[in-house]
């Protein structure tokens, strides 16, 4: 094969739907994202050779994979674990939670659901509130979750990965 230093424009051809083969149909963004592609680039700028460059002479081939490092999993083969297990996690939250005085004075009670990422190193990141009680309780729930010690990270195919984790934080007056 040869690469020529020219640009050709091919005008689109209008065809009836039933005449278009499945291979010629335009792929969706999802299909393109899931396909394994490699792109090779040859710089032919200034190439005056009528016959172009031989592709075999081009040594650099760049292939790319989807960026797995940025993916955050909802479910993994091995879920992240808090040191001491789920009971220890709930005990930590209970021990470190300080009922906001304004909320207590107003008799506010309820349950916040907090979602956060357990990173590949077990650290807490991207804390989000899924359901709330009031501003003061919400802030306190987020503060306690951000103070959590490191988890054992979740694993997918034997590798540590980022995983979403969800915890209820209950505010109850006694």
Whole-model pTM? 0.59
Tokens 């460059």 sit on residue: 53
Task: Give me the tens of pLDDT residue by residue for the chain, a chain 174 residues long.
Answer: 555 555 566 777 787 878 877 777 777 777 766 766 555 555 555 555 555 666 556 655 555 455 556 789 999 999 999 999 999 999 999 999 999 999 999 999 999 999 999 999 999 999 999 998 999 999 999 999 999 999 999 999 999 999 999 999 999 888
Distance in angstroms (rounded) separating the CA atoms of residues 64 and 122: 27
Pairing of strands 110-118, 62-63: unpaired
For 117, the token pair is: 């990422």
Neighbour tally for 73: CB within 10 Å = 17
Concatenating the DSSP letter of every residue in 117-174 gives EE-TTS-EEEEEEEE-S-HHHHHHHHHHHHTPPPPBPEEETTEEEEEEEEEEEEE---
Q: Domain 72-171 belongs to what architecture?
A: 2-Layer Sandwich (3.30)
Q: How far is CA 173 from CA 2, 88, 104, 157, in A?
A: 78, 22, 7, 44
Domains of the chain, by residue range, sit at 2-67, 72-171
């Amino acid at each position: 094969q040869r690469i020529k230093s020219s640009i050709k424009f091919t005008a689109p051809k209008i065809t009836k739907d039933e005449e278009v083969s499945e291979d010629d149909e335009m792929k969706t963004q999802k299909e393109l994202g899931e396909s394994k592609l490699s792109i090779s680039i040859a710089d032919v700028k200034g190439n005056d050779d009528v016959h172009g460059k031989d592709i075999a002479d081009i040594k650099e081939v760049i292939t790319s994979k989807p960026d797995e490092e940025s993916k955050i999993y909802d479910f993994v083969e091995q879920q992240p674990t808090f040191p001491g297990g789920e009971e220890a996690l709930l005990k930590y939250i209970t021990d470190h939670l300080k009922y906001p005085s304004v909320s207590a004075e107003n008799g506010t009670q309820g349950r916040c659901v907090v979602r956060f990422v357990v990173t590949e190193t077990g650290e807490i990141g991207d804390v989000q509130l899924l359901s709330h009680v009031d501003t003061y309780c919400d802030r306190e729930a987020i503060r306690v979750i951000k103070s959590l010690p490191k988890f054992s990270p979740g694993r997918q195919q034997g590798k540590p990965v980022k995983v979403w984790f969800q915890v209820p934080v209950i505010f109850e007056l006694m």
